[in-house]
Chains A and B, each alone.
Chain A
Amino acid sequence: MPKTVVSVKFVPSNGTGYLRDINDEIPIAGRFVLPPDIPSTNIAAIVTAAGGELSTENVPCSDTQGGTPRRLVFIRASGNTVSVPISARNDLISAATTIRGILQTTGNEVVCIKLEGEFFPYLNDELGVSYANTFAASHKPPGTDPKQHFWSGTISYGSDGTNPAGGTVFVPIKAISNNSNAPATKFSTIWANCVGNFVDILACPTGGKRVREHRRFLVTTRTKLDPVSATETAQSELNEVPVNDYAGADILTCGQAIAVLNGVYCVGYRGESYSRFHKLLP
């Protein structure tokens, strides 16, 4: 029996827009493969649970080529997977519960559900990046200091993967820095708002496995060891800035603050991923 490829669209003007983590609603297309044992009569119910609508044509003005939407990945006992794009973060558990129920109607149990975060590599226009030939301080250690520093600890984090969504968990982070006891100088003004202070608490042990990948901005900057040097050759550096707040408006505010930092010329975003999402379902 052939697999069925289901095309899904999210269209704001139809009330089925895709709500990005940065709090804007966009048109986007997606698709998923329905295993052969699932009757095609169930397709509409899965798509509705995902917040989208069935698509037989291209989405007008789609953002599809600009990124990929978040997905819930259902892994079944038979080994096959169904990866469904989901329109919003605030009701992931309800969507997962509904879709899991549909996928189990044939007796093939869903044994695991993973949340895969959205990825948009280029958000310059949305966030207001306007590079003005400035340079940031490099994250490399200054002078003759041979040791690369890291700013690491545990943050209090509003997670997509909690029940209800937005619950606080403690997440370990490790950020490259030119300072031995502070975040990288180039992010010093936004760090408190985007990431927050470290909390005096140990993150839960996970046996070395990262089950939760926090949301983050991917920030590319032009840097120099001395940002005002007229003779030093500039470098490009890519850094991740974790975002601790769950609320879309706060994520956007963080991104906008990053966008106007000296040296920043490219900003992307990757949403939270959580490999144990099935544990949250009733």
Chain B
Amino acid sequence: MVLAFYSYITDTGKIYNFLPVFISQINPELSTLYTGQELLEDLLPSNLIDINLPCGVSGLIQRSLIVRFNDASIFRIGYSNLFSQLLADQLIADPRVDLFTFSGEIIQYSRLKKLLT
């Protein structure tokens, strides 16, 4: 089974369903506390689904949160909804999170021209 976003909304408003969630740890400090998924499960409880056949989209690099947790581990975690003040407030209030960055989505032209037409 693969963890996927039930729906991922692009910056252009187009929605893709069952897009696999991207999560990776990007610093060498191995976390014994976090996988990144638990944060996502709190932020997007109704938009995550375990699915045996996800639907990858070429030319779309999902927007992501770069999060430094309180054990010094740093994760890049895909995020399906548009960034917002509410999301920032949630992360600021989360005791697990030390720092975070919003990293924007990339839609390559090969995908963009298809989703716009």
Chain A positions within 8 Å of B, measured between CB atoms, are: 27, 60-63, 65-67, 121-122, 124-126, 131, 220, 235-238, 265-266
Q: Are B56 and A65 in contact (CB under 8 A)?
A: no
B57 partner residues in chain A, CB cutoff 8 A: 122, 124
- Distance in angstroms from A10 CB to nearest chain B CB is 13
* Known interface pairs A66-B58, A266-B18; A237-B53 also in contact (CB < 8 Å): yes
Asked whether B16 is an interface residue with its Cβ less than 8 Å from the other chain, the reply is yes
A-B pair count, CB < 8 Å, reads 48
Q: Is the interface on chain B under 10, 10 to 19, 20 to 34, or 35 or more residues?
A: 20 to 34
Q: A222 to chain B: closest CB distance in Å?
A: 8
Report how far A265 CA is from B53 CA in the complex, Å. Answer: 10
Which listed residue, B16, B52, B55, B113, touches A61 by the CB 8 Å rule?
B113
Q: A61-B113, A62-B110 are in contact. Are A122 and B53 (CB under 8 A)?
A: no
**A–B Cβ pairs within 8 angstroms, 9 of them:** A61-B108, A65-B59, A66-B58, A66-B111, A125-B117, A220-B53, A236-B52, A237-B53, A266-B53
Pairwise interchain contact B59-A265, C-beta atoms closer than 8 A:
no
Name B43-95 residues within 8 Å CB distance of A: 51-53, 55-59
Distance to closest chain B CB from A138 (angstroms): 13
Q: Nearest chain-A residue to B17 (Cβ)?
A: A131
User: B96-117 toward A: CB 8 Å interface, digit per residue (1/0)?
Assistant: 0000000000001111011101
How long is the Cα–Cα vector from A265 to B8 in the complex, in angstroms?
13
Point out the residues of chain A lying under 8 angstroms from B110, CB to CB: 27, 61-63, 65-66
Bound CA span A66–B108, Å: 11
A contact residues around B111 at 8 Å (CB): 66, 125
A131 to B59, CA, bound (A): 20
